[in-house]
Amino acid sequence: MKSSRRYSMATRSAQAERTRQRMVDATIGLALTRPLAQCTLAAIAERADVSVQTILRAFGTRDALFDAAVAAARDDVITERAAHIADVDESLASIVDHYERMGDGMLLLLGQEQVEPLAAEITHAGKVVHRQWVKQLFGQELARVAASERDEAIDILMAATDIYAWKLWRRDAGRTVEETVHRFRVLVAAVVGRLTMGEE
């Protein structure tokens, strides 16, 4: 009997976790397709196929739900970007894939950061992740740059791999994914070459 109860509790716990993840995924999905002001609990509940009361029982408040969604999205991005951290070419292809999946939604959030505190919080977290990624990916190159010039070098490498470069090539100029990856590689190679030009 006890074994049956334990199984039942474990099953309910697993179901609750799946429902919780569905609500988090629904929040992320909505935030990438519409202004945050329109990401109401009712809209999230409809997308997740749950009731608003279910969301409130699981998270307590909309803010808590968004906190969970931001943390989940950040962890996914960090994991994704770390996959090819030892290979610059593969990492650049990977970040283009990331921009292909989430770029339009990220641009939507960036467009709200001056008027929507939550958007500013989300985009700030993304910029921190991007800076850390640049420091890891180009660690060897940055180690050869004078300490007094390292922050500038990181800034330039961030710009060379930024989402707005992807937007310029993919959305504004209509380049293919392959052309966009190639342009990132050319730009990054030029930047790295310039940064290490004074080396013997």
pLDDT in tens for each of the 200 residues of the chain?
556 666 576 777 788 899 999 999 999 999 999 999 999 999 999 999 999 999 999 999 999 999 999 999 999 888 888 767 789 999 999 999 999 999 999 999 999 999 999 999 999 999 999 999 999 999 999 999 999 999 999 999 999 999 999 999 999 999 999 999 999 999 999 999 998 875 54
CA distance 134 to 23: 31
Q: What is the pLDDT of residue 192?
A: 94
Q: What is the pLDDT of residue 1?
A: 54
Which candidate, 75, 45, 49, places its Cα nearest to that of 62? 45
pLDDT recorded at residue 85: 79
Three-state SS annotation for the chain: CHHHHHHHHHHHHHHHHHHHHHHHHHHHHHHCCCCHHHCCHHHHHHHHCCCHHHHHHHHCCHHHHHHHHHHHHHHHHHHHHHCCCCCHHHHHHHHHHHHHHHHHHHHHHHCCCCCCHHHHHHHHHHHHHHHHHHHHHCHHHHHCCCHHHHHHHHHHHHHHCCHHHHHHHHHHCCCCHHHHHHHHHHHHHHHHHHHCCCCC
Give me the pLDDT at residue 5, please. 61
Question: Which pLDDT belongs to residue 200?
Answer: 43
Can you give the pLDDT at residue 86? 81
The architecture CATH gives domain 1-69: Orthogonal Bundle (1.10)
**122: its two tokens:** 């989300």
Domain ranges in the chain?
1-69, 83-200
Q: Which residues contact 159 (CB under 8 A, 6 or more apart)?
A: 165
Cα–Cα distance, 49 to 172 (Å, whole number): 36
Q: What is the pTM of this model?
A: 0.86
* Residue 149 CA, distance from chain mean position: 27
